[in-house]
Amino acid sequence: MRLAGRVAVVTGGAGGIGAALARRFVAEGAEGVVVADLDGAAADAVAGPLGERAIAVEVDVADEDRVQALVATAEARYGRIDLFCANAGITVGTGIEASGAEWARAWAVNVLSHVYAARAVLPAMLARGEGYLLHTCSAAGLLTAVGDAPYTVTKHAALGLAEWLAITYGDRGIRVSALCPQGVRTPMLDDGLAAGHVGALVTAASGAVLSPDEVAEAVIDGLAAERFLILPHPEVAAYTRRKAADPDAWLAAMRGLAARAEGG
């Protein structure tokens, strides 16, 4: 997958990784980029400077009808969607004591939105015999998010869905990648660090904190290679191997890391 001449939709496109992806896709020569976000004004602020090849769409990705409308808008403007980046995501920052509403919202945004996107774009992609789905699953989908049970659970589920889609549709021209970055310099991490949240502290201590533009660079490379796992942080691959080789030792190490982070 090269972006030149392609049409991409990016949810969560008003900031962070999503905005970096939108800008980079245009720079790579994309025919069209749809910057989709719950904050329509912020999405427009990203799309506007990108010129006529980008448009902004306000959308709540947790609402399937709105996702269907987003896809219809993109197809009406550009004729097709080559790449759908299900990038929108939220954190909760608490454990199992999170309220039912918080669990439901995390599930809707971090998992069901990916289901809704796939259901909306797959029919046309399958009819053409090609298409690409990029799901932002976070390193938490492979490992864990200390101090955030809903985020951990939903990102594991998002990764499981991406695997299922790759297995089910890979022989029908559909490519799937799971983007699993660790620490990225976005408000999601910065706000957690400012609040002293243990999860943010552990994340920052576990490897380099990358810029959104560095993550976008990794995405360009990963899409070109059509790799299922796109890992901007190479250490995530090492951590995943350790986890698989000795889960008990990995859990003990994570407990120790969390305890050190909480102790300052």
Active site residues: 151
Q: Residue 110's CB: how many other CB atoms inside 10 A? A: 31
> Element (H or E) spanning 7, and its range?
strand 7-11
Q: Which two tokens stand for residue 241?
A: 């191997």
Q: Which of 206, 196, 200, 205 is nearest to 243 (CA)?
A: 206
- Of the candidates 40, 39, 43, 1, the one whose C-alpha atom is nearest the C-alpha of residue 23 is 43
d(Cα 121, Cα 201) in Å, to the nearest integer?
37
Please count the other Cβ atoms lying within 10 Å of the Cβ belonging to residue 187. 10
**31-56 as b/e: b if 16+ CB within 10 A:** bbbbbbbbeeebbbbbbeebeeebbb
Strands 54-58 and 83-86, sheet pairing:
unpaired
